């Protein structure tokens, strides 16, 4: 697969990277609230179709996968996770049908400084 150069402003969106064919190897995504806070790091491997090593469904508009997460009471439950490929919005939905408000947005993680 030939990797084409990507021209963008300071931040690259997932949709831009995918549409330009720039995602060939696993990459780290930082998902964080726009007002700061601790980011969530997700490893996306589009070629293997995995997110954090878990099987994922990649469509033109979103990436979806299921992960076992610990809730506030310490219980481990399956959660349906998704990232919009159009705007980077991260959604976490419990199997009971409730969703966290979309407050996280994902973009390609910058290269380490050292």
Question: Residue 114 falls within a domain, yes or no?
Answer: no
Q: What is the pLDDT of residue 114?
A: 84
Residue 24's domain comprises 14-108
Q: What angle do CA 23, 29, 47 make, to 5 degrees?
A: 30
Q: What is the pLDDT of residue 35?
A: 73
Site of tokens 């469509």: 59
Give the span between the Cα atoms of 4 and 70, in whole angstroms: 39
Q: Higher pLDDT residue, 24 or 12?
A: 24
- Residue-wise pLDDT tens digits, 20-56: 455 568 999 999 887 777 788 999 999 999 999 999 9
- Residue-wise pLDDT tens digits, 99-108: 666 578 999 9
Q: Higher pLDDT residue, 81 or 22?
A: 81
Structural domain count, the chain: 1
Q: What is the pLDDT of residue 10?
A: 32
Question: Residue 86 falls within a domain, yes or no?
Answer: yes
């Amino acid at each position: 697969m030939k990797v084409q150069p990507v021209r963008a402003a300071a931040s690259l969106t997932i949709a831009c990277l995918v549409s330009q064919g720039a995602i060939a190897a696993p990459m780290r995504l930082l998902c964080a609230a726009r007002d700061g806070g601790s980011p969530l790091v997700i490893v996306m491997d589009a070629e293997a179709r995995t997110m954090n090593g878990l099987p994922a469904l990649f469509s033109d508009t979103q990436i979806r996968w299921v992960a076992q997460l610990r809730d506030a009471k310490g219980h481990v439950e399956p959660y349906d996770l998704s990232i919009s490929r159009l705007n980077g919005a991260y959604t976490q939905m419990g199997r009971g049908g409730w969703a966290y408000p979309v407050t996280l947005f994902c973009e390609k993680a910058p290269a380490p400084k050292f």
